[in-house]
Amino acid sequence: MIPKLNIVPFVSVDHMMKLVLAIGVERFLVELSEYIESDFRRWESFDKTPRVASHSREGVIELMPTSDGEVYGFKYVNGHPKNTREGRQTVTAFGVLADVGTGYPVLLTEMTILTALRTAATSAVAAKYLAPKNARTMAVIGNGAQAEFQAVAFKALLGVDKLRLYDIDRSASTKCVRNLAGYGFDITVCGSIEEAMVGAEIVTTVTADKQNATILTDNMVGSGLHINAIGGDCPGKTELHADILKRSDIFVEYPPQTRIEGEIQQLAPDYPVKELWRVIAGQETGRTNERQITLFDSVGFAIEDFSALRYVKKQIEQTGLYEELDLLADPDEPRDLFGMLLRAAVATPTAA
Ligand SMILES: NC(=O)c1ccc[n+]([C@@H]2O[C@H](COP(=O)([O-])OP(=O)(O)OC[C@H]3O[C@@H](n4cnc5c(N)ncnc54)[C@H](O)[C@@H]3O)[C@@H](O)[C@H]2O)c1
């Protein structure tokens, strides 16, 4: 049971890890994907805006708000590709849900782990509609923090069980092999992107670099492939050669944001793309034939975070895996905020 109104449930990193492990990573991803799909089906009921980004030489800090009219959510997230060289994460995040009726926050939570889970769940949802039927083999280019989450989501939702890994830093691939040991994958660590692409029916690109990189060139992409492009998610930060985009059917989250941040920033502003939510809602077709190249140009959108926050709130109500945070000043007489401060002086001895 969630306590008094002035107390906000807070999910620390420790509690998030306990929650994910108590539910099980695969089940968490499957249930979260159901929340994402159900929110994408009611896409039109959300307030939507491209995220508010503050760019600097080294990275970006972003705020990602949305509301369905009853609940409001936002995420604070950064992207700093150089961070791992200093022992920090490239991406960290936290988020808030609030009651629209009172404006009071009803959840504050870590979202670094939750972002990796929601990104992976969204990718797997997209692939359910776009990847070749019965695809089993996925190349994963970039084996950093997001990589295992992507792999496990594709296994849990699609049955992908063969991975072909490549990273410029081999120790990242070795880390993935170690972490995925208990998940029943057949894993091959490859010496080049070309080698990783051999036999792949799906490729996930999830590299971090603050530039227009060319992780995939046109000649690496054969007919029928599904491309799950995760790493290009900022202006001036892409992973695919533009020629690939012109041969693909492109699916995006929220076009006004993806046209600024996604792979399609390389194309004309009116280049035709399809919205993933329309495919999920049955208004638009996903994959239509075996030879089609499908591209999910993922940048991450606020509604996915909203779904994740909603799911976590439900789970902590059932498990009690949260702390009570004294976050909101809430005097008994609402207008006596100053009086509340003075009464605290009586209880708090002043420093000598
Ligand atoms: N689309 C989304 O919703 C979403 C969500 C989270 C993260 N991201 C993006 O995904 C990317 C990866 O995030 P992360 O947290 O895993 O970062 P990370 O820094 O932990 O891992 C990135 C990996 O990419 C490797 N790499 C860099 N250049 C490469 C290249 N040319 N070829 C092969 N490997 C290369 C690095 O060695 C590293 O292991 C970031 O760019 C991040 O912004 C996107």
Helix/strand/coil (H, E, C) string of the chain? CCCCCCEEEEECHHHHHHHHHHHCHHHHHHHHHHHHHHHHHCHHHCECCCCEEEECCCCEEEEEEEECCCEEEEEEEEECHHHHHHCCCCCCEEEEEEECCCCCEEEEEECHHHHHHHHHHHHHHHHHHHCCCCCCEEEEECCCCCHHHHHHHHHHHHCCCEEEEECCCHHHHHHHHHHCHHHCCEEEECCCHHHHHCCCCEEEECCCCCCEEEEECHHHCCCCCEEEECCCCECCEEEECHHHHHHEEEEECCHHHHHHHCHHHHCCCCCCCEEHHHHHCCCCCCCCCCCCEEEEECCCCHHHHHHHHHHHHHHHHHHCCCEEEECCCCCCCCCCHHHHHHHHHHHCCCCC
- Is the distance from the beta carbon of residue 264 to the nearest atom of ligand 1 less than 6 Å? no
Q: What's the pLDDT tens digit per position in 81-139?
A: 999 999 999 999 999 999 999 999 999 999 999 999 999 999 999 999 999 999 999 99
Q: What's the pLDDT tens digit per position in 48-83?
A: 999 999 999 999 999 999 999 999 999 999 999 999
Active site residue 233: yes
- Is the distance from the beta carbon of residue 53 to the nearest atom of ligand 1 less than 6 Å? no
- Is the distance from the beta carbon of residue 257 to the nearest atom of ligand 1 less than 6 Å? no
To test the pocket of ligand 1, the residue of 36, 58, 86, 91 to mutate (highest count of ligand atoms within 8 Å of its CB) is 91
- Is the distance from the beta carbon of residue 78 to the nearest atom of ligand 1 less than 6 Å? no
Prediction pTM value = 0.96
How far, in Å, from the CA of 340 to the mean position of ligand 1? 48
Among 47, 68, 167, 233, the one annotated catalytic: 233
